[in-house]
Structure 1
């Protein structure tokens, strides 16, 4: 049995106000071909299908068209999708009756009173497989174990344990899905929304227990193993969600089962549809250096090759008031999707600190980063952010996230 694990598509996302529909479609077309090439039996998508709880209609149409095309190309394929923290649980659940006609099973939320709803017994051409399709767990979905820092982790473990009890035959392969931040996972702070509360970001891999044979995770954008375990993995995003992710090796994961045993786990790398360029790669440059770099930048002239994304990093001490005009002139004949200018200070121990010059760019900073900047600016520039303030922010963020996703 061949299983393909992917996650964090973020359909409907705009990249610095540039529409990514074409980019998303290129990935979905590639994924259909990949599923056919490996002759997959099962596709599992571990959350964040959409970028927002209210995606554009075009994004929903992309998902449904993909499922239809995948089934036409591979009639024996089964698909399981869970909601992530960016998704609306209700929106995901609403599509359930329609998608079941295409052997596609979706789970938007976990009901602690009906844990059997997240357990799917799927009959593939190579035998039965148990899927514990655990979506992103909001605090309201679970019975909190206690109010201590590990309360959320205990509640997550309880949710998985209650689902495992619904399995009728554990001699069959068991795949557990999840959308969370497991302890030790590398996070991209530029684009991964902080969903921590009560120790959420310190959930240890042991919350998944010994029942699953493979654990398919979503939320972290970098493809990686958890706790150095080959069978606990984030598939990562299929394309960069920010400039911080420009060097990620984007992939889907192919898991091959022989009965209950995993015979192989391999990465299937996703081709980069649009390049992501940051000038310079490290630190900031003077205005003259940036203009020279733009003049020497080699870009595809063929109109059939997609324009790359380009973002510039300018020294914070640059005093030329005409810098925007001069950069616009340097960009005049360049085939790029321009993604703005960062003001960068190189004065702090040789490392670059970003200074977002325009208030219009403030939404590109993670909330925790904003709070840390405000604390150092207004309260104490030498001390780190107090834990109490961080927890207050996390509580507010989770409350907002739950409201958006309801």
Structure 2
């Protein structure tokens, strides 16, 4: 059984006002070429298929185009809802896509039969290839009932225990299903699990938004069930979890923020057999739209631009029809007194095939650390705003933890209302 593990496509994303439609269309074409070249049996997208709970019509068209393309290729597709996805949107075409062999798990519901999350992925010849504990993003309300008077630590522990318990019940049902199939076909089937969450030690980027009660980045790897492979989403940087070969984030296939511009994006090919995991190897995703973050002085900008454009020409500028302009974030140091800095930066860029999406100023602090100055609220995440505001107060540790817990509850409620 050969799986392709990917996640966090974010169909419909606008990158500082720029549409990603052309990039996603090119990504689908590339993926369909890869599943043929690598003889992939099934694709798992581990959450955040869409960028918002109300994706535009072209994002839905891309979603259906991907499903149809894989169905035509005879490749299975398992779609898991993420924290950005609306369960209602993923459910609206669920029955139709099932006719094409597409399996969709939009969300969990409280008290749900664990067998609902047990899915069988098949090989190209139609034979069962693996049994999946198919868990999407788990909202706290899916597994917990709120209790008055709980501390932040207690809420975090309760959520971790509830998620671990859900994994355990689904794993037990999946193991039973695998045993039944093994008796019928005469060979063991490997078990796979999915998840859309943050785990211990996972390295995040600025485009990842946490909306859990408390801090779920302490979810322990030992709480995952014993399976051959765990396909995770939510973190955009590809990585092993805890150095373990079988627990992986594939990362997003497109850079979703400027701090991801230097990452080599990838998808993961996963080979499984009756004995479990055989090997995992990455497929490097081309850069369909070049983007870079430049950090330099105004005097250094022309040289930095020449280098950036040269690098873009050498990597990804031919991946789309016609060379797309290089998207830039430019942070200028040592010019805090210039009122016309944006105009000077734009003038320096005028002769280059670039689009400047954001201009920042850098200043030196007394400690020698470069910090962003003159930031707007639009440039800051809600978490960063809270962090900076709390830093101005003198709070006891328990007060700080309680405020952070209350903040997470509010954000979770707002997000749930937005996607339902």
Same fold judged by TM-score > 0.5? yes
Counterpart secondary structure, 1:215: strand
What is residue 335 of structure 1 aligned with on the other side?
353
Pick one of 187, 201, 207 that aligns with 2:223: 207
Counterpart secondary structure, 2:299: helix
Pick one of 149, 154, 166 that aligns with 1:159: 166
Q: Does 1:178 align with 2:195?
A: yes
Q: CA RMSD in A?
A: 2.4
Q: Is the 8 A contact 1:144 1:155 kept in 2?
A: no
Counterpart CA distance in 2 for 1:333 and 1:317 is: 22
Greater Cα offset, 85-94 or 287-296: 287-296
| 1:45-77 CA-partner distances (Å, limit 9, x unpaired) | 1000011111111011001011112222x22x1
What is residue 105 of structure 1 aligned with on the other side?
103
| 1:184-240 CA-partner distances (Å, limit 9, x unpaired) | 11111x100012323422101122122x21100000000011121100000001121
Q: How far has the Cα of 1:311 moved from its partner?
A: 1.0
What is residue 391 of structure 1 aligned with on the other side?
405
Q: Structure 1's 370 and 71: CA in aligned 2 closer, same or farther, altered over 3 A?
A: same
Q: Structure 1's 120 and 335: CA in aligned 2 closer, same or farther, altered over 3 A?
A: same
Counterpart CA distance in 2 for 1:387 and 1:237 is: 31
Counterpart CA distance in 2 for 1:43 and 1:386 is: 42
Q: Does 1:142 align with 2:143?
A: yes
Counterpart CA distance in 2 for 1:38 and 1:396 is: 45
Q: Is the 8 A contact 1:175 1:215 kept in 2?
A: yes
Q: Does 1:187 align with 2:204?
A: yes
Q: How far has the Cα of 1:306 moved from its partner?
A: 1.9
Q: How far has the Cα of 1:317 moved from its partner?
A: 5.0
What is residue 133 of structure 1 aligned with on the other side?
134
Pick one of 393, 396, 405 that aligns with 1:379: 393
Q: How far has the Cα of 1:400 moved from its partner?
A: 1.4
Q: Is the 8 A contact 2:298 2:335 kept in 1?
A: no
Q: Structure 1's 348 and 153: CA in aligned 2 closer, same or farther, altered over 3 A?
A: farther
Pick one of 302, 305, 309 that aligns with 2:327: 309
Greater Cα offset, 171-180 or 55-64: 171-180
Counterpart secondary structure, 2:204: coil
Counterpart CA distance in 1 for 2:83 and 2:138 is: 8
Counterpart CA distance in 2 for 1:93 and 1:248 is: 33
Counterpart CA distance in 2 for 1:139 and 1:348 is: 43
What is residue 264 of structure 1 aligned with on the other side?
279
Q: How far has the Cα of 1:297 moved from its partner?
A: 5.5
Q: Structure 1's 335 and 163: CA in aligned 2 closer, same or farther, altered over 3 A?
A: same
| 1:327-353 CA-partner distances (Å, limit 9, x unpaired) | 222222222232111122221522221
Q: Does 1:344 align with 2:368?
A: no
Counterpart CA distance in 2 for 1:197 and 1:34 is: 38
| 1:113-136 CA-partner distances (Å, limit 9, x unpaired) | 322211112333253421111010
| 1:79-116 CA-partner distances (Å, limit 9, x unpaired) | 10000000001111222111111110000111233222
Name stretches of at least 5 consecutive residues in structure 2 with no aligned partner.
Answer: 180-187
TM-score normalized with structure 2 length: 0.87
Name stretches of at least 5 consecutive residues in structure 1 with no aligned partner.
Answer: none
Counterpart secondary structure, 1:120: strand
Q: Does 1:233 align with 2:248?
A: yes
Q: Is the 8 A contact 1:144 1:154 kept in 2?
A: no
Counterpart CA distance in 2 for 1:107 and 1:399 is: 21
Q: Is the 8 A contact 2:70 2:77 kept in 1?
A: no
Q: Does 1:250 align with 2:231?
A: no
Pick one of 338, 354, 362 that aligns with 1:320: 338
| 1:341-393 CA-partner distances (Å, limit 9, x unpaired) | 11222215222212244x3xx233221211122334x5369x9x933322222
What is residue 120 of structure 1 aligned with on the other side?
119
Counterpart secondary structure, 1:169: helix
Q: How far has the Cα of 1:296 moved from its partner?
A: 7.0
Q: How far has the Cα of 1:144 moved from its partner?
A: 5.3
Residue correspondences, number: 393
Counterpart CA distance in 2 for 1:184 and 1:326 is: 41
What is residue 184 of structure 2 aligned with on the other side?
none
Counterpart CA distance in 2 for 1:320 and 1:392 is: 41
What is residue 33 of structure 1 aligned with on the other side?
33
Q: Is the 8 A contact 2:309 2:326 kept in 1?
A: no
